[in-house]
Amino acid sequence: MKPIRTRTARAIAVAIVAGSLALTGCSGNDNGGGKGKSDAKSQKDAAEQQDPVAYGDAAASTGPAEEVPGAKSGGFINVYMQSDLSHMDPAQIYVSDAGQFANLVHRGLTNFQEDEKGNLTVVGDIATDSGKSSDGGKTWTFTLKDGIKDEDGNVITSADVRHTIERMYSKVIFDGPTYVQSWLSGNDYRKALPDGPYKGKHLPDSVLETPDDKTVVFHFDQPRPDLPQALAMAGYAIVPQKQDTKEKYDDAPAALGPYKIAEYKAGKSMKLVKNDQWDPKTDSVRHQYVDGYNFTSTIDQPSQTKRLIADQGEAKNAIQFTDSVDPAQLSTVISDPDAKKRTVQGYQPYVWQLTFNLDRVKDKKIRDAITYAIPNQSMVQADGGRYGGEVAGGLLAPTLPNFDPTYDPFGKLKKPNGDIEKAKQLLKEAGVKEGTKLTYSNTPRGQAQQVIIKDALGKIGFDVQAKEIDRASFYEQVGKLDNPYDIYMTGWGQDWPSASTVITPVYDGELIQDGASNYSHINDKQVNDLIKKALTQEPEEAAKTWEQAHKRIVEEINPAAPVYYSKQIQLYGSNIGGAKYSTESSYIDINDLYLKQP
């Protein structure tokens, strides 16, 4: 790719993502919480989310879900969003807003069940349990429950499960997780079934077997103990074969969950109503308390916050979906007892990072210089201060097992507002005037971030060219291999409590392709080999290998500058019942909500 023409000041074009979309040592000088002791979430809270996920049996997987105390039926919940959902086709879902939506509309073989303390258990969703392994964990068998139907009353069979997996091999699907496909057919899995199931071909029974209408068998070449957790992701929810409309499915998916789409106006609104084909006896996770949800996707973060603080009229029945309290109004929320009691807070699994496009920013000294220059603490301040996040030392979040809070190779805990002199020295040593481009999401967070980055990089001689991208398509744009940007803010969180779900999808060089999550295009043989090694090891042994891979990525390659670990604080209306923070989603728990006065 041609470099940008050199200027007196280095040209830099940047892409910054913002809003609340993410794929999971703070100083006291912040304006987020007022005076006195802070009740913001800490790394101690994050550590409670490190526990391994349990696998549930048939009893745990049998519905109905445990009743929420005091829950009532009826009424509509209003959902405030800044922009449209990134996707509605399950196979394309790998961003947080669509994941929340999926819990209302879609169902998979398994799902995460969460107790009052936030402990997670994988249970059977349309399967009778979380799966049965054999052959040393290389084979997994799932049996489907009776009474599972789509919104039109079509009975879901093993053929629909096969179709769901196989369509992910086709070019129709360009976003979403790739764990199961690559485990079944290797990193070049698309070559195994390039047209998916659409031309009558299928994966061999030695890979994916459906011996009868109720049974699905996965065959792997090595043990895959995490399969039940992978299948619980929204990306592996069922797409009924009869309902599949290929590319058009993203606009009108068929529901298996408690709600279905009644009306959708792209970029504006969506209405969900009860799915009368959903049987609570088959579902141990979800409820159907309210009559439906009215989504409005044109309300920016400041307006959401202002309406919910006021708590008048329709705002009493409203929630923030994946957006958080507007940082500029956070002190008002924290100091107002009525508003504060209507918040949910939690430590998210996301690490916000300034990702480098390694095809364009090839000199590591330049990448290191930018990393040192970034004022991490200012970035935290722009996202809510101590209620929004904490300065990051590495790329693995405090919610992951074996997190090391002292890891800080770029000295961010000592100099949280950057080290400009160190950055200038590195650029002088590099002696390279290489161009870079920045793009950012059209949200308050994105706009605030791009101002901070432009200012910091301007101090070390870069002339920043900023490009605004619509929030809903941001990851799609920066996920293209030939994207024209050099650096972009991205957020990534674990898919379950394992470093494998961060390092593998984001830093494995064998997974570089359009739509993949390797946004930096890192392709390092040593990292690739360490990933392969860790995936074959027992957890305790693998943890050491993941740590080795992490340190090489951060210190020796630096494909993404760690910026901050993310927290969440959301508001909801006074008539919303059952509101609590979800460890699994990192947002308000969408499964337990009801209206106090329908």
pLDDT at residue number 520: 96
What pLDDT sits at residue 476?
83
Residues of the chain with pLDDT under 70: 1-52, 432-444
Separation of alpha carbons 455 and 398, rounded Å: 29
Enumerate the β-bridge partners of residue 10: 462
**pLDDT attached to residue 47:** 56
Measured torsion, CA atoms of residues 313, 319, 321, 327, in degrees rounded to the nearest 10: 90
Taking each helix axis from N to C end, the angle separating 364-373 and 420-430, rounded to the nearest 10 degrees, works out to: 170
pLDDT given for residue 496 in this prediction: 87
Sheet-wide strand order for 292-296: 259-265, 269-274, 292-296, 76-80, 318-320
Which pLDDT belongs to residue 372?
97
Which backbone phi and psi does 208 adopt, to 5 degrees? -135, 120
Q: Is the dihedral of CA 413, 418, 421, 422 positive or negative?
A: positive
Three-class secondary structure assignment of 147-209: CCECCCCCECCHHHHHHHHHHCCCCCCCCCCCHHHHHHHCCCHHHHCCCCCCCCCCCCCCCEE
Residue 213, pLDDT score? 98
Of the candidates 1, 115, 131, the one whose C-alpha atom is nearest the C-alpha of residue 48 is 115
Q: Which residues of 102-136 are buried (b: 16+ CB within 10 A; e: fewer)?
A: bbbbbbbbbbbbbeeebebbbbbbbbbbbbebeee
pLDDT of residue 524: 97
Residue among 198, 180, 89 nearest 142 (CA)? 180
Q: What is the pTM of this model?
A: 0.84
- Does the CA dihedral 55-57-61-64 come out positive or negative? negative
Return the pLDDT at 472.
Answer: 75
